Structure 1
Amino acid sequence: MSQQTSCPNAQLRWCDNQPFSTQYEDVYFNSENGLEETDYVFLQGNNLKERFRKSAGQNFVIAETGFGSGMNFLSTWKLWLEHAPYDARLHYISAERFPFSREDLQKAMQIWPEFQALLPELIRQYPPLMSGFHRLNFPDSRINLTLMFGDATEMYSQLTAHIDAWFLDGFAPSKNADMWHEDLFRIMATLSHPGTTFATFTSASKVRKGLQAAGFEIKKIPGFGPKREILTGQFNSAPPAENGTPWLSLPPPPPHRKHAIIIGAGLAGACTAWSLVHRGWKVEVIDQHPEAAQAGSGNHQGALYAKLPAKPISSSQLHLHGFLHALNFLNNNVPADGIWNQCGMLQLATTEKEKQRQAALVDENRYPEALIHAVDSFQASEIAGQPVPHAGLYIPDAGWVSPVRLCHYLLQHPDIHCRFNTRVEKISRNGDEWHLYDSNDQLIASSAIIVVAGASETKRFEQLSHLPVKPIRGQVSLQQTTPQAPALNTVICGEGYISPPLDNRWCFGASFDVKTPSDEIRAEDHQSNLKKLQDVLPELAGHFATQTESPHGRVSHRCASADYLPIIGAAPDYNAFISDFERLRKDSKWRFDCQAKNHPGLYVNLAHGSKGLITAPLGGELLADILNMTPIPLEKNLINVMNPARFIIKNLKKGTI
């Protein structure tokens, strides 16, 4: 799959408020009867009104091959609100190779009075034009929208979902031949199940034969207006077989009552709890500390941003996904009052290596200017509100978060019950449930589903002892502010970081030490943090030097994996993996037809390291979708790089186990 970059937007020509594509030389919709055509072809063609009415307690999934102006989505949204039961949830997935800009989308849809109550919320959440997956949540309507910016075939090949209805929309095969081909129809089959329906405005022979070859039954019905015929039908075949790498498959969860126990009340645990309760679960969070966020998530402030490379790789792609998702999550769900602030961030080039990296990023021009752009030292000083001696990159949507306050806020939901001062020493499977025990072998709690999200607790559980996680010591410095301190308007990152003060305290640092397990505050780390500050904000560092009070500090141990990527998903049965996949020791490309064996009902959400503010909210959504078997807002290749089994498979291929 192509790496995530800026996505080319739709090139439009407007005539009487109707958008015309100059890329495909065709209109997106008819301004006189476009709504009627959408209703007839896609809504009636998939019998959605009746199916929505019967969807009580269910997830209904629609997939579309061309989001375009958003008319089909808004029409479906309106129909859903009119006919779906309150306990049903709609998942709408749409691909778009040339997405509208936010301004063009608003202009195209504002002509329809039917959508004026819905359009502002879509416009507010509409993502930047970056290729890849974007999850938008509309909780009051019980709708998730996953926008996939890129080629439809490529995007759907990366999707994990079970589709109930297809909208085969897009420009006609004669104008957009690249989309209508057998690869797309084959991928549709892998995502469908017996009874999955489809509807499309075209009756072209190429489309009809391609769908039939993929296993869809076809029916011709009268077309809309001057159109003679359109196609509808359903999938009644068996889904294609697995791809030969069963360790990458997502196993269905065991039977449960939508109840889970989460071990760990830091960012990973709190975000997982939040995502589950907003899908109707009851959650119990257990933590050995007296309150939430007392370990790696306990710092006063953290920088909310993603460090973007000139040439993206999987880790940076994941971090950008997480950053954009975290921004949308915070803006939709979390008040800014003392919890977070979208004040922007300056990423300064304080070394020659960083100057070269940033210059390469600007030259590659992979990211929209609204997301990140270069500034000189004068512009950086204007943004910061005090002298900045370096040029750098500015991310206007970045900011800072108080991870402690965020965790407390997320855990305040009435369906989340927290038990603190409770250390889980052992877990064991007993029948259909997991039992949690303390150091005296006394039962603490039990549940069919357990999520281990406590970094320090992972290795002592026998089932998870093989996971290569390690602590990384970090010390931040805390300095009381004074009226004489120079103002700071944005987060500054160089070799370290500093945020505008919160509760009259500056938070800056941080050290990065993979060798020292000590929790002791060290004077040399304060000096190092002050030196990093001197490099980026000499005026503020000079002010601190005049203070008689020495800085305070906090030490935490971030949990990181061997490859510094999170570990999220079902916990593999280590011994079963070694036995079932031992042939990889001799043939790393062997394709298996067996099922991977995981510990039923045991999941992990770990090792977010120093990136937890941008990976934990996305990780919580990922795990909640895995447990609910609902569409996942992340490409398969990115799900795979976080798969807990990846280390076993890698070591088998290397012959080290």
Structure 2
Amino acid sequence: MKTAPIVPARVDFSGAIPSAPDFGDAYHAPSGAFVQARQVFLGGNGLPERWAGQRRFVVLETGFGLGNNFLATWAAWRDDPARCGRLVFLSIEKHPLTRPDLERAHAATPEPALARQLLDAWPALTPNLHTLDFEDGRVRLMLAFGDAHAWLPELVASVDAFFLDGFAPAKNPDLWDEAVLRQVGRLAAPGATAATWSVARSVRDGLTAAGFEVEKRPGIGGKWQNTVARFTPRHRPPVPPGRTAIAPDTQDVLIIGAGLAGASCARVLTREGLRVTVLEGGATTAPQASGNPGGLFHGTLHAEDGPHARFSRAAALATERELRRVEPALPWLQWGLLRVERDPQALASMQSLLARSGLPADYVQALSVESASAKAGLAVSQPAWFFPGGGAVSPPALVTAWLEDAARSDGFQLRLNTPVDRLRRDEAEGRWSALNAAGDIIATADAVVLCGGIGSDPLASPWAAGARWPWVAQRGQLSVMPQDLAPPTLALPVAGLGYALSLPDGALCFGASTDGGDMDPALRASDHAQNLDRVRALLSSATMPDTLPLVGRVGWRSLVPDRLPIVGALPAGVPERRAEQARFWPRQPGLMVMGALASRGITWATLCAELVAAQLTGAPWPVETSLADAVDPARFAARERRAPE
């Protein structure tokens, strides 16, 4: 998906109703935004009655605007004793409001408490799918910032109700054309409904062509009629295996591995109401690189804004939201991160790239050496990118917080010292079993998520069709300069070729070395020396002693050559057609992997776990399909099929 800078909405507040001068139209009817929402969109879709007793109900809105339809729907859900278990509201907006304009738009809202929560959660205006959770995750707002023509084909969701809301077709025809309405039909769940205040013939014909049965109903606010529709298609094309829910009826899940990947999956899957058992072969949680005393999280940017940059940005934004939620449970968390460039003359090119990208200052800033040094509290060597939502945290503490979250749910178990030797599938019962080396069953479940890094390979290989995953275990040694050596103190973490951060006890943590395929657990003086050289290059003013600090830690990261994680269901066989595309590969029912998090475990874990949960249960996916394809476990086999003979 090609992204474009987000241009905020221009809102005219001078009249009785907020309007958009760029479209020559008002944001809602004269009768009031909430009246319109309740009568046209909620009433036109048979809500709240239709969501009664459902585990999940999904709404898709084609224009978020001021957010009144979402707030009215949330209020109706809150006030309904028969409400669904989870309400997911997916909305697209090409020109979102800035936070100050959004606050002004809701100054006199009939739901001030809900509006305040929306304002507090309002995301950076980046071209991403932003997932905002409310009501302890029972109400989810998914905001896709960008053009509907680009976003709708990229969404995976089974939508129960459509709010077709945008400026009038005559004022904003792009949001009502055949391509948009065709995607509405593609995303519709069986029995889905749609409602809009527009009765334009082109809109009604477009809905009919998309498989809806359309009728007019009495309107409100001076309009004679509105349009309602029900999805009654004659034929639906088959959905590729890689786009369907892997095990939507799952009740219990085994997670193998208790590092960042396993803990994040445990938190997300228990939130979905599933019973979760985490099996860890070691004596403690957070093994390998997840056990480091400090770790970084931050986004990135590139001129092309390709899959790696877009995935890392989406993941960083998700991680920032999650860490703000869990922050009270963490003993230590630093906000803000500097990523130092290598070229001392890079500032002009950095500023040019930032201007072209359109990324806002609350996501990333380009800083001079002087400004970066002021942020760091020490002189840095080069200009730097500043990520306000990045920072540093203790990975073991984060793992503990996520597992404690999961433990608040019924049916959660954490079993240490429980290595898994292999998996077995009972086709008759549709269940997976984890076995030990003696062949005894350790535990069974409807689904399994492999979260043990490269240690998952022996468990995955017998079940994964196609090319083997080209992942490796990369040895990394970090160095710690204890407080008694009087290390320099950083106000926030600094990264570049290597990284450095000050720990709560005053020690300086820095590194880390990278040695592919080396399994030696012993600390090395040569690696300490390399880490010292790198920190000296980052911090030009830092006085580092010549005596090597022989304190440190060795761990292993799993990674693959394309520098993206492996997330999703394992391919079960080679497709007869289109094997060069990952989404067409059949999948093992209920067997998933989340791995190859490399050195970005903290940054990637939250988004990857959300994707696992969505693919497993059938919830709307938290990323666009082009990014899901980029991390798909079947991508390696698909690439092999595309390779020239």
Query: Shorter chain as normaliser: what TM range?
Result: over 0.9
- How far is the alpha carbon of 1:239 from its aligned partner? 5.8
Mapping for residues 75-86 of structure 1, pairs under 5 Å = 75-85=72-82
Unmatched segments (≥5 aa) in structure 2 = none
CA pair 159-238 structure 1, distance change in 2 beyond 3 A: farther
Three-state SS of the structure 2 residue aligned to 1:460 is helix
For 2:565, the equivalent position in structure 1 comes to 566
Task: Summarize deviations over 1:408-443 as a string: whole Å, max 9, x none.
Answer: 111122333111111111111123211211122222
For 1:175, the equivalent position in structure 2 comes to 171
Task: Summarize deviations over 1:307-355 as a string: whole Å, max 9, x none.
Answer: 211221101100000000100111123426424221x111112346966
For 1:624, the equivalent position in structure 2 comes to 613
2:529 pairs with one of 521, 527, 530: 527
The answer as to 2:263 corresponding to 1:270 is: yes
Instruction: Tell me, in whole angstroms, the C-alpha distance in 1 between the residues paired with 2:120 and 2:234.
Output: 40
CA pair 351-33 structure 1, distance change in 2 beyond 3 A: closer
- How far is the alpha carbon of 1:457 from its aligned partner? 2.2
Instruction: Tell me, in whole angstroms, the C-alpha distance in 2 between the residues paired with 1:268 and 1:348.
Output: 28
Three-state SS of the structure 2 residue aligned to 1:297 is helix
Instruction: Tell me, in whole angstroms, the C-alpha distance in 2 between the residues paired with 1:34 and 1:241.
Output: 37
Task: Summarize deviations over 1:106-147 as a string: whole Å, max 9, x none.
Answer: 1101212x2111111111111111112110011347211100
2:497 pairs with one of 495, 498, 504: 495
Cα contact 1:7–1:131 (8 A) shared by 2: yes
Q: Which amino acid aligns with 2:210?
A: A
Mapping for residues 112-191 of structure 1, pairs under 5 Å = 112=109, 114-140=110-136, 142-191=138-187
- How far is the alpha carbon of 1:482 from its aligned partner? 4.4
Task: Summarize deviations over 1:500-558 as a string: whole Å, max 9, x none.
Answer: 22333321111122243322211111111111111122343x1x407x67241111110
The answer as to 2:91 corresponding to 1:99 is: no
Cα contact 2:246–2:587 (8 A) shared by 1: no
Cα contact 2:472–2:517 (8 A) shared by 1: no
The answer as to 2:27 corresponding to 1:33 is: no
Cα contact 1:389–1:536 (8 A) shared by 2: yes
The answer as to 2:238 corresponding to 1:249 is: no
Three-state SS of the structure 1 residue aligned to 2:328 is coil
Three-state SS of the structure 1 residue aligned to 2:50 is helix
1:442 pairs with one of 440, 443, 446: 440
Three-state SS of the structure 2 residue aligned to 1:335 is helix
Three-state SS of the structure 1 residue aligned to 2:116 is helix
2:85 pairs with one of 84, 88, 103: 88
CA pair 397-352 structure 1, distance change in 2 beyond 3 A: same
Three-state SS of the structure 2 residue aligned to 1:499 is strand
The answer as to 2:331 corresponding to 1:329 is: no
- How far is the alpha carbon of 1:23 from its aligned partner? 1.1
Q: TM-score w.r.t. structure 1 length?
A: 0.92
CA pair 17-417 structure 1, distance change in 2 beyond 3 A: farther
For 1:19, the equivalent position in structure 2 comes to 18
Mapping for residues 402-441 of structure 1, pairs under 5 Å = 402-412=394-404, 413-415=407-409, 416-431=412-427, 432-441=430-439
Q: Which amino acid aligns with 1:229?
A: Q
CA pair 141-441 structure 1, distance change in 2 beyond 3 A: closer
The answer as to 2:644 corresponding to 1:651 is: no
Three-state SS of the structure 2 residue aligned to 1:193 is strand
Cα contact 1:193–1:237 (8 A) shared by 2: no
2:513 pairs with one of 508, 511, 514: 511
CA pair 104-179 structure 1, distance change in 2 beyond 3 A: same
Three-state SS of the structure 2 residue aligned to 1:405 is helix
- How far is the alpha carbon of 1:370 from its aligned partner? 2.6
For 2:456, the equivalent position in structure 1 comes to 458
Give the total of aligned pairs: 635
- How far is the alpha carbon of 1:104 from its aligned partner? 0.8
Instruction: Tell me, in whole angstroms, the C-alpha distance in 2 between the residues paired with 1:349 and 1:355.
Output: 9
Instruction: Tell me, in whole angstroms, the C-alpha distance in 2 between the residues paired with 1:111 and 1:322.
Output: 34
- How far is the alpha carbon of 1:79 from its aligned partner? 0.5
The answer as to 2:32 corresponding to 1:62 is: no
RMSD: 2.3
Instruction: Tell me, in whole angstroms, the C-alpha distance in 1 between the residues paired with 2:518 and 2:453.
Output: 17
- How far is the alpha carbon of 1:364 from its aligned partner? 2.5
Q: Which amino acid aligns with 1:613?
A: I
Instruction: Tell me, in whole angstroms, the C-alpha distance in 2 between the residues paired with 1:358 and 1:527.
Output: 31
The answer as to 2:385 corresponding to 1:393 is: yes
Cα contact 1:63–1:166 (8 A) shared by 2: yes
Three-state SS of the structure 2 residue aligned to 1:649 is helix
Instruction: Tell me, in whole angstroms, the C-alpha distance in 2 between the residues paired with 1:195 and 1:481.
Output: 64
Which deviates the most, 548-557 or 452-461? 548-557
Three-state SS of the structure 2 residue aligned to 1:14 is coil
Q: TM-score w.r.t. structure 2 length?
A: 0.93
Task: Summarize deviations over 1:391-416 as a string: whole Å, max 9, x none.
Answer: 22212221102111101111122333
The answer as to 2:351 corresponding to 1:362 is: no
Three-state SS of the structure 2 residue aligned to 1:15 is coil
CA pair 31-290 structure 1, distance change in 2 beyond 3 A: farther
Task: Summarize deviations over 1:448-492 as a string: whole Å, max 9, x none.
Answer: 211111013222124257222211111111111249544321111
Cα contact 2:248–2:616 (8 A) shared by 1: no
- How far is the alpha carbon of 1:214 from its aligned partner? 1.2
- How far is the alpha carbon of 1:155 from its aligned partner? 1.2
Cα contact 1:481–1:501 (8 A) shared by 2: no
Which deviates the most, 59-68 or 365-374? 365-374
1:372 pairs with one of 364, 370, 378: 364
For 1:341, the equivalent position in structure 2 comes to 334
